[in-house]
Amino acid sequence: MSAEQHTPVSITSVSIDDPHMQPLARNPRRMEQTIATAMFFGLLSFVLFGVAYWMNWAPWSLGVTLGLGMVLLGFGVTAWGKYLMPKGPFVEERHEVASTEEQRDSFAAAVIQRNLGILGRRKVLGGLAGAGLGVFGIVAAFPLIRSLGPLPKNSLKTTDWKAGSYLVDSTGRAVKVGDVAVGGIVTVFPMGFEDTDNGQAVDQTVLIRLATADVVTLAGRESWGPSGYVAYSKVCPHLGCPVGLYEQQLEVLVCPCHQSMFTVSNGGYPTFGPAPRPLPQLPLYVDGRGYIRSQGGYNQPVGAGFWERS
């Protein structure tokens, strides 16, 4: 034990041996050494970070050297505060947040007399000022809100599918009747739209071959499935995710987002999950040269539900 540790330093009733002041008063040397070691290696790690950056080492080495440096330095400084500084507990009195009674009264008097008294005396002016501010607020909302973007108009209800649209895959190749084996599935777009945002987001359609003979998925759709081909919108009627998973055995399309399932042999009817509406079906026909084409657009909006949808 060195003499230093036993030298009492007197300050207003608190000495170095006071447990409030010095948790490790009996042996601060050891903690000091530990902290110094941690800080030293922390600094070393920062230097290593510099080297790693300069030499363009792998990204993980940057994170590790920087992180290690900060953890070691942080440990050192925290431990210094925790073990080597006055420990307390110290106490401080709270001050009332609330003001004194006179201050409150004078504030209330100013609020009420100046505002209600002076302003309230000119009711017409006050009313006009208030109305002016209100109208200004509404007027200001026009550029702020209305200018944000176009009105929806028909954009949510229509697609680019027209009568006679060729079905093309993502590379733009038109699908012919012999291209897809039974059980096969391909994502198609109306020809000319496979590279557009709207084509990708709205027109995307899955073409599935269920059989070799014509397929009828619902009464009234007798002509929609020539040569075993059926086509459904790929946009999930729940939240618009691409309905990208096809379970071949069950003939079910599954949305990977929230697991809605749609039976393709049954008009895209939702059999499971949160989607309440069937997948819209695209009516198809095979033209004289063997290309698969659409008889027309979808008979209902594709994708998630919205107010204007009937």
Contact positions with other proteins (CB under 8 A) in 8-47? 9-12, 14, 16, 19-22, 28
Least Å from the CB of residue 307 to other proteins: 5
Least Å from the CB of residue 83 to other proteins: 10
- For residues 262 and 269, what is the distance between their CA atoms, to the nearest angstrom? 5
Write the DSSP symbol of residue 203. I
Residues 102-141 vs other proteins: string with x where CB under 8 A? ----------------------------------------
Q: Which stretch binds other proteins (CB under 8 A): 82-90, 102-110, 131-139, 210-218?
A: 82-90
Q: Which of 155, 212, 223, 299 binds other proteins (CB under 8 A)?
A: 155
Interface with other proteins, residue 72, by CB under 8 A: yes
Specify the pairing of strand 292-294 against strand 269-272: unpaired
Interface with other proteins, residue 150, by CB under 8 A: yes
Q: Which of 1, 60, 181, 288 binds other proteins (CB under 8 A)?
A: 60
Cβ-proximal residues to 258 (8 Å cutoff; 6+ apart), any chain: 236, 238, 239, 241, 273, 274, 275
Specify the pairing of strand 185-190 against strand 245-247: unpaired
Sign of CA dihedral 39, 40, 42, 47: positive
Interface with other proteins, residue 62, by CB under 8 A: yes
Cα angle for residues 122, 127, 128 (degrees, 5° grid) = 105
In the window 233-262, what residues touch other proteins (CB under 8 A)?
Answer: 234, 238-242, 244-245, 256-260
Tell me the β-bridge partners of 290: none
3 state SS of 282: strand
Nearer to other proteins, 137 or 149 (CB): 149
